[in-house]
């Protein structure tokens, strides 16, 4: 019987990597982009921008890796939700990279205007910032949370992990979705305390889940109980 122990360890590691990379990358990038003279800040901090971009690429790749590493175990219980979780987290990664490309495009614009002395259309700056905000702070988060909700539903029903932990993930994902949907219609909410409070549960839950999977793995009784049973589509 396949215990999926290695998958569980990789999922735990990728959860930690994805959370750390997304926080570091977005914090570094946004600290420059939120400055009043952001084009000057970008041109003067090229290395910081590139490092932030690398962290965001790691975020995108590790987020996809979580769903892929989970897939072999959860597909045995529900193929449709397992595949859906992979698809939504792939789209999350695409949205994250689009936001990164917007930041790198702003870096090119700032260097052209401030360092080379060549004329540049700086009016396009707000467009790139808007693209980054929508891609990373709204769309990527929506796809992440929907994908997470899918695999937490499977894990709750199958008992692959304790129900208190998967249930926590379901509640956290729903709270996060509520926050990002409110933020989509009220951009100032995304930077407020309300958004942070609503997203704390899923953030903490992922770190607890990561430690659980690394230390204990999946529930072997749940996997053994499925032997000989049909998989739900």
Instruction: Summarize pLDDT for 57-69 with one digit per residue, the tens.
Output: 999 999 999 999 9
Reported confidence tier of residue 231, pLDDT bands at 50, 70, 90: very low
pTM, two decimals, is 0.91
For residue 51, is pLDDT > 60?
A: yes
Domain membership of residue 232 (yes or no) is no
Domain of 202, in residue numbers: 5-224
- Identify the pLDDT of residue 191: 81
**Per-residue model confidence as pLDDT tens digits over 84-142:** 999 999 999 999 999 999 999 999 888 877 766 555 556 678 899 999 999 999 999 99
CB-based burial, 185-204: b 16+ in 10 Å, e otherwise: eeeebbeeeebeebbebbee
Task: Tell me the sheet residues that pair with 232.
Answer: 78
Domain membership of residue 231 (yes or no) is no
**Per-residue model confidence as pLDDT tens digits over 192-201:** 888 999 999 9
Rounded to the nearest angstrom, the gap between the alpha carbon of residue 43 and the centroid of all alpha carbons in its chain is 28
Do the beta carbons of residue 29 and residue 52 sit within 8 Å? yes
What average pLDDT does this structure show over 151-169?
97
Domain membership of residue 229 (yes or no) is no
Do the beta carbons of residue 89 and residue 144 sit within 8 Å? yes
In the chain, the number of structural domains is 1
Do the beta carbons of residue 138 and residue 184 sit within 8 Å? yes
- Identify the pLDDT of residue 100: 97
- Identify the pLDDT of residue 117: 58
For residue 230, is pLDDT > 50?
A: no
For residue 8, is pLDDT > 80?
A: yes
| Range name among 3-7, 33-37, 228-232 with the lowest pLDDT average | 228-232
**Tokens encoding 139:** 């769309």
Instruction: Round to whole Å and give the CA distance between 91 and 86.
Output: 9
């Amino acid at each position: 019987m396949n215990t999926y122990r290695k998958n569980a360890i990789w999922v735990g590691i990728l959860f930690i990597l994805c959370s750390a990379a997304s926080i570091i990358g977005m914090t570094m990038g946004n600290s420059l982009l939120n400055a009043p003279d952001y084009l000057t800040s970008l041109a003067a901090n090229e290395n910081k921008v590139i490092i932030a971009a690398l962290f965001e690429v790691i975020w995108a790749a590790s987020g996809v890796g979580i769903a892929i590493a989970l897939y072999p175990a959860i597909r045995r219980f529900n193929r449709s939700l397992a595949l859906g979780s992979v698809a939504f987290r792939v789209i999350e990664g695409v949205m994250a990279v689009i936001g990164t490309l917007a930041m790198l495009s702003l870096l090119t614009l700032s260097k052209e205007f401030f360092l080379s002395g060549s004329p540049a259309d700086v009016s396009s700056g707000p467009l790139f910032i808007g693209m980054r905000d929508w891609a990373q702070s709204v769309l990527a988060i929506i796809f992440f949370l929907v994908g997470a909700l899918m695999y937490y539903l499977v894990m709750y029903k199958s008992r692959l992990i304790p129900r208190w932990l998967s249930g926590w993930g379901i509640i956290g994902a729903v709270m996060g979705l509520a926050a990002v949907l409110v933020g989509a219609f009220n951009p100032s909410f995304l930077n407020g305390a309300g958004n942070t409070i609503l997203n704390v549960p899923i953030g903490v839950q992922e770190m607890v889940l990561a430690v659980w999977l690394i230390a204990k793995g999946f529930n072997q009784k749940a996997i053994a109980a499925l032997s000989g049973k049909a998989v739900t589509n």
